[in-house]
Copies of this chain bind each other. A is one copy, B any other.
Amino acid sequence: MSLLVVGTLAYDTVETPSGRVEDVLGGAATYFAVAASFFGPVRLVGVVGKDFRAEDRALLQGRGILLDGLQVAPGKSFRWSGRYTGDLNVAQTLDTRLNVLEGYSPRVPQAFRNSPFVFLANSPPALQGAVLDQVGPGVLRAMDTMNLWIESAYDDLLAMLRRVDMVILNDAEARAVTKEPFLIRAGRRMLELGPRIVMVKKGEHGAFLFSHNHFYAIPAYPLEHVVDPTGAGDSFAGGVMGYLAQAGEVDEEHLRRAMIYGSVMASFNVEDFSLNRFRRLTRAEIDARFDEFLRFTAHP
């Protein structure tokens, strides 16, 4: 089934212990869309500047990502610059330039409005709401958020949570939204705020799945080396939603499998800078790592 993602495309400058890259393709919607594209076609809505490179457009199109909703605005593309040190768990933002994001309001093309699977990547909650106003109820509406909106637009965020089926967010965000230091309680409390499915990403510590009658936990794929964690969370969400949209079902079994695929996609993404690992990734590699994941978490 069709999958729509709305969110940012960016040019990132990133420094990690493995090196430094400048003005490379990034952005939440980009990572999500490319990760999800391994499972089926993806419809993308977002904005870039006149400086958006033809090769980056070609990369997205080459992955079967439909760009009818990609607006090209006067000015420069959104830019983010950050640095990771130590065990790479936390990004230090060095600079953010909104550029074309300033004043942007997403317009979902008519042909995308019936998308049964919708993912609202991290954006101001009011913009996420404006997207929901344009699409049908579909099968599964999911969203991400970030601490900035939890702090600066809490009421808007709560209103959004009541409108979606699923939220995919990280542990710090789940704690911040619910003001609950215990993560298990934070996850369950999230369910009371609206979504019927809550996925909590814990980076190298795996992920939790909460629903009203179901709990599931997985460790992360055990990587020996991480080159660049940028986009891991969005790649995770892309794997989750890509798999679910491909399956067309959102029951307990598919959600568990989706979470493992999410973990697998995140694990590939962090093996190289930008989307470089995805450029040479194959579906066979994904399925092999999925099977490997099952083996090292198999019950005795």
Stretch at the interface among A45-53, A107-115, A148-156, A250-258: A250-258
Inter-subunit contact A184/B223 (CB<8 Å): yes
A294 within 8 A of B: yes
Write the nearest CB–CB distance from A198 to chain B, whole angstroms.
13
Bits for A242-268, please: 1 = Cβ < 8 Å to B, else 0: 000000000011111100100000000
Inter-subunit contact A206/B206 (CB<8 Å): yes
Interface of A is mostly: mixed
A216 within 8 A of B: yes
A226 within 8 A of B: yes
**Do A219 and B204 form a contact, CB below 8 Å, given A253-B300, A297-B299, A300-B260?**
no
Closest to A184 in B: B222
Write the nearest CB–CB distance from A260 to chain B, whole angstroms.
7
A216 contact set on B, CB distance < 8 A: 296-297
A217 within 8 A of B: yes
A-B contact pairs, 26 of them (CB 8 A): A86-B181, A87-B181, A87-B183, A182-B224, A182-B226, A184-B223, A184-B224, A185-B224, A185-B225, A205-B206, A208-B219, A215-B222, A216-B296, A216-B297, A217-B222, A217-B296, A217-B297, A218-B219, A219-B219, A254-B300, A256-B300, A257-B300, A260-B300, A294-B299, A297-B299, A299-B299
A185 contact set on B, CB distance < 8 A: 224-225
Closest to A255 in B: B300
A173-192 residues with Cβ-Cβ distance < 8 A to B are 175, 181-185, 188
Write the nearest CB–CB distance from A207 to chain B, whole angstroms.
9
Closest to A214 in B: B296
Q: A205-B206, A208-B219 are in contact. List 15 more A-B contacts (CB 8 A).
A: A86-B181, A87-B181, A182-B223, A184-B222, A184-B223, A202-B205, A206-B217, A206-B219, A208-B222, A218-B219, A254-B300, A256-B299, A256-B300, A257-B300, A297-B299
Write the nearest CB–CB distance from A175 to chain B, whole angstroms.
8
Interface size class of A (residues with CB under 8 A): 35 or more
Write the nearest CB–CB distance from A178 to chain B, whole angstroms.
12
Write the nearest CB–CB distance from A208 to chain B, whole angstroms.
7
A298 within 8 A of B: yes
- List the 9 shortest-distance A-B pairs measured between CB atoms, nearest first: A256-B300, A217-B219, A205-B205, A257-B300, A184-B222, A87-B181, A253-B300, A185-B224, A215-B296
A245-295 residues with Cβ-Cβ distance < 8 A to B are 252-257, 260, 294
> Once bound together, how far apart are the Cα atoms of A226 and B182, in whole Å?
8
A215 contact set on B, CB distance < 8 A: 222, 296
